[in-house]
Structure 1
Amino acid sequence: MSDMADETPTSTFAPGGRHRHRRTRQPSTAVRRAVVLAMAVPVASAALAGTSAFAADKDTTATAAEGATTAVQGDGVGTDDARLVANLDARVLDQRLGADVSGVVLDADSEDEIWARNATTAMMPASNAKLATATAALTVLGPDHRFTTKVVYGHGTLTLVGGGDRTLTSDDLAELAKTAVAGLEAAGLSSVKVAVDDSLFAEPSLADGWNEGYYPTEVAPVRSLVVDGRSVEDTSLDAGKVFAEQLATAGVAVDGDVIRATAHRRDVPVARHKSAPLSDVVRTMLKTSDNNIAETLLRVTAVEAGRPATFEGGTEVVRHVLSDRYGVSLENFEMYDGSGLSRADRIPAVTLAQILELLTEPRHAHTLGSVLEGLPVAGEAGATLGPEWGRFDDPNSECAVGKVRAKTGTLTGAVALSGLTRTEDGEWRVFSFIENGSTAAPNDIKNAMDGLAATVNGCWA
């Protein structure tokens, strides 16, 4: 994943949730955090649609913080935690990480903040932003939600209607075409026009912090219709052409070029395809850090919440869900896209840790379980912490292979690693580490990050 040009941030949603304060074993005015107060009543889509819930009453701006560290001290401190703190204090100063580094480690079981450094500082999170996107999508849509692609017929035209399924394949379109052809033949029709309807989403646009160089290599223009995850400028027309070719192969003549049109409500339903559950889609997105899936989920979440299917509408819902549904702190939080490609995004380490801490609470297991399952595992081939990416293969971090689950994030000038691990006693440790601006080689930065995660696990003691 590479970065492009910076753009100026705009005003953002201000946190409105309630919070209770986490115990810190050494109180510090430099670093404070609010912990989760998760309401037991699930969020209904209608509740998210109210405009009052999204009223922004102030701007949040990125702030620079001193390199203060709050850590475990005092009576009752375990030897392992004391060693962890001492090691992190030393290892966070690794020159490979640069001077602008933040982090936090939470004990999810005791509700203690074990260690923190600049934890509330606004940082560019890169793909760690996908944690916020996934949490909002699962909460608003539900883990069992399936994306529907339809074919309807009217006035001599078959219209392929996109429903935001980023996992739609050529084989899926072939099944839709087969069903459509059977219907046409039964009606005595041997030719048809083909159109695509991708009106579910607003016109593709660039998020703040993006530029046109992102299209289509880093991310395709966000449309509600795509086949085989192809990165092309117009994924909808591309899918329509594939569908038209399959119709022709099945013996139905296609009259003219594929066009873009809006299906009429009186059009006759012909065929439909449903995707795998959202929980499966989220797992795939996180394992591979798929930018296109993330941006599509942001739009569909906005639609379900009754907001415009835009970057602004989607991130508005994300803020509302994190703050009002789960009580996650949005101090110094700025989000302009769903993937973390935006160089205007700012998410403090403590916010990312609070999102991950939700995964340790049994009451959220049904809704958010696929986030935990989707986090890459240290040393897992085929995911972003796999050996093919050179992760956790350093002598200091290889001890954590199979023991750490974490989301990666990489842009030029920003590397993040946020995740969870368990102690030998089975206690959850939640962590988030972010560096911005290091001039070290990317692999060197990642090795240093992996070492911090191994330290949290306790295997690099």
Structure 2
Amino acid sequence: MRTEKIGHSKASDSRFTFHVSRFRDKLSTLKTCFLFCTLLCCTVLYGCGTPSTIEVSPPAPPKPSEAVRRLQAKIEATLNDPLLASSNVGMKVASLGTGEVLYEKDAEKLYHPASTMKLITAATALIKLSPNYRFRTTLYADRLEGGRVMGNIYLKGGGDPVFNSNDLGKMVDRLVEMDTKDLRGDIVVDETYFDAVRRGKGWMWDDGPIGGYYPHLSALTINRNGVLVRISPGSEVDDPVHVHLDPPTQYMKIVNDANTVGVSERTRLTIKREDRSIEANVLIIDGAMTIGQAEMNRRADVLDPALYCGTLLREMLAEQGVTLYGTVRYGEVPEEAVEIIQHISPPLSRILWEMNKPSDNLIAELLLKTIGAELRGAPGTAEKGLGAIGNLLGIIGMDRRYYTFADGSGVSRYNLVTASLLTDLLVYMYRNFAVMPEYLASLPVGGVDGTLTRRMRGMSAEGILRAKTGTLRGLTALAGYTVTADGETVAFSIIVSNYLGPVSPRRVLQDKIGDILTQFSRQDYYEELDNGERKN
């Protein structure tokens, strides 16, 4: 019997081949997917056992509003003044309400802060010492017999930068009340609360003794470590000029080579220190004054401030009839000494007012060393104080690559900061309610007081803007706060450096920017839009 193949043809063979081919393709795809999934699972499992970092790009800053753009344009127009063509300008403005940076220019470049350094010193003192911190200056004696002082007396300084002759006079009164008729021992001045470094690191060698800008440093300070020299003309031509010291003291010697001339003659009066004298505190007054010329007053710094203080104590006791047999010398208070009287200073909050308003360098430097002594132990040094400043800036989040400090006042050109650092510090202090009122109150007010007394008068910023000034040759800085037309508080810093010529025209531009910030309103733009829509 013949058998035939049923249902088999060339067409059916080709369809079968086609299906087999599709099956093989699917199988290959499945194998690929399986390998991919296996690799993915291994990667995930490996990642679970190993820490990994995913870098996420920071979001782009929001575009400024039209009102802010107009503010920026006004500031740019001011900074484009030809006066600043060859200068460097660092600036940053931040809103304390929104945190928005309203304007910045070269805000991360380094500049000398000048006296805006006092903003940093003041902030550290308030936070590390507290607004109610007080300085102590203490008078001791070796012993008391029947209530009377015997042996040496000791005057120990505690860094009080505002201790003065009136305060010392109260100590003298106490000694007189104790029936002190004579003192057979010495007057020993103790300044060991600080080191014996008299000047800040990087201070210029030719900084003169006149003006009170560069006083010598000591833990025992009196009358800002200086004397006031009062000079007036004689009553006749060729008479020597009259010279008086306030307070009167033999500690500062005067060589008077100046005379009186007629009204028609040109005059010039100079005061300089006699550096070659064995007695370092010698001032030479040279030149001339015209008949009827008004009295001239100049502050002169003293060398060895603690000895100056001890000498004033000796002279005051002598005026009260106390006989003194010993000398004034350096030394330390012995442990067994008896306390006679202690003077306690005003609170730190008040002293900061006296530092920042007139920009007092001595207060800033003594504060720096006091911070060091209180936090890291006596003797207080600038290095210890600067360490505390670095600690505070680290807490705030400041990058150490963008600052370096050498003193507390800003006199040194070794100091370097950025405009961003100053503004960020101002923002931090404003938001620190525990110290903000005292910090803000210490700043000069535009057109009202301190170093801003004669600035911004007649401007919107007058009586509103509060800021610390800073000046070195070829540099002017202004950093602080103002309130805008909308009631929005802003912090700002403006540093202009590397210019020739007088500082006044550059200050005018800084004041103009301060006024622009004070006039700034976010509402002006919308009001103009509304008015435009009404016209249409």
TM-score norm. by structure 2 comes to 0.67
**Pairwise CA distance, 1:268:** 0.5
CA 444–177 in structure 1, closer or farther in 2 if over 3 Å, else same = same
Q: Please name the residue that 1:443 is paired with.
A: 504
Which of 219, 232, 236 is the aligned partner of 1:224? 219
Q: Please name the residue that 1:455 is paired with.
A: 516
**Pairwise CA distance, 1:455:** 1.5
Q: Please name the residue that 2:476 is paired with.
A: 415
Q: Contact between 2:386 and 2:407, CA under 8 Å: does it hold in 1?
A: yes
Q: Contact between 1:190 and 1:253, CA under 8 Å: does it hold in 2?
A: yes
Q: Contact between 1:379 and 1:386, CA under 8 Å: does it hold in 2?
A: yes
Higher strand share: 2
The 2-side partners of 1:226 and 1:159 are apart by 14
Secondary structure at 1:355 match in 2: helix
Q: Does 1:177 align with 2:172?
A: yes
CA 253–191 in structure 1, closer or farther in 2 if over 3 Å, else same = farther
Which of 344, 355, 368 is the aligned partner of 2:414? 344
Which of 425, 428, 438 is the aligned partner of 1:358? 428
Which of 438, 447, 466 is the aligned partner of 1:379? 447
Q: Contact between 1:120 and 1:331, CA under 8 Å: does it hold in 2?
A: no
Q: Does 1:233 align with 2:303?
A: yes
Q: How does 1:130-141 map to 2 (within 5 A)?
A: 130-141=118-129
Q: Does 1:310 align with 2:381?
A: yes
Secondary structure at 1:271 match in 2: strand
Q: Please name the residue that 1:30 is paired with.
A: none
Which of 150, 167, 186 is the aligned partner of 1:193? 186
Secondary structure at 2:76 match in 1: helix
Secondary structure at 1:213 match in 2: coil
Give ranges in structure 2 of 5+ residues lacking alignment: 1-57, 143-149, 227-300, 525-536
Q: Contact between 2:365 and 2:408, CA under 8 Å: does it hold in 1?
A: yes
**Pairwise CA distance, 1:310:** 2.0
The 2-side partners of 1:174 and 1:139 are apart by 33
The 2-side partners of 1:425 and 1:411 are apart by 35
CA-to-partner distance for each residue in 1:168-216, whole Å, 9 max, x for gaps?
111110101111233354xx86544211111111012443321333364
Q: Please name the residue that 1:12 is paired with.
A: none
The 1-side partners of 2:151 and 2:208 are apart by 34
Give ranges in structure 1 of 5+ residues lacking alignment: 1-23, 28-71
Which of 331, 340, 351 is the aligned partner of 1:281? 351
Q: Please name the residue that 1:434 is paired with.
A: 495
Amino acid at match of 1:313: K
Q: Please name the residue that 1:112 is paired with.
A: 100
**Identity of aligned pairs, percent?**
30
Computing the radius of gyration over CA atoms, which structure comes out larger, 1 or 2?
A: 2
Q: Contact between 1:194 and 1:254, CA under 8 Å: does it hold in 2?
A: no
Q: Contact between 2:127 and 2:435, CA under 8 Å: does it hold in 1?
A: yes
**Pairwise CA distance, 1:25:** 9.8
Q: How does 1:93-112 map to 2 (within 5 A)?
A: 93-97=80-84, 98-112=86-100
Q: Contact between 1:206 and 1:212, CA under 8 Å: does it hold in 2?
A: no
The 2-side partners of 1:415 and 1:287 are apart by 16
Q: Please name the residue that 1:392 is paired with.
A: 456
Q: Contact between 1:417 and 1:433, CA under 8 Å: does it hold in 2?
A: yes
The 1-side partners of 2:403 and 2:322 are apart by 53
CA 219–449 in structure 1, closer or farther in 2 if over 3 Å, else same = same
Q: Please name the residue that 1:84 is paired with.
A: 71
Q: Please name the residue that 1:32 is paired with.
A: none
Q: Please name the residue that 1:322 is paired with.
A: 393
**Pairwise CA distance, 1:85:** 1.1
Q: Please name the residue that 2:435 is paired with.
A: 367
State how many pairs are aligned.
Answer: 379
CA 334–440 in structure 1, closer or farther in 2 if over 3 Å, else same = same
Q: Contact between 2:369 and 2:385, CA under 8 Å: does it hold in 1?
A: yes
Q: Contact between 2:357 and 2:443, CA under 8 Å: does it hold in 1?
A: yes
**Pairwise CA distance, 1:233:** 1.1
Q: Please name the residue that 1:14 is paired with.
A: none
**Pairwise CA distance, 1:301:** 0.5
Amino acid at match of 1:168: F
CA-to-partner distance for each residue in 1:291-325, whole Å, 9 max, x for gaps?
0100000000000111552222221111111222x
Which of 191, 198, 203 is the aligned partner of 2:196? 203
Q: Contact between 2:124 and 2:389, CA under 8 Å: does it hold in 1?
A: yes
Root mean square deviation, CA, Å: 2.2
CA-to-partner distance for each residue in 1:436-458, whole Å, 9 max, x for gaps?
10124211111111111112212
CA 215–254 in structure 1, closer or farther in 2 if over 3 Å, else same = farther
Q: Contact between 2:90 and 2:419, CA under 8 Å: does it hold in 1?
A: yes
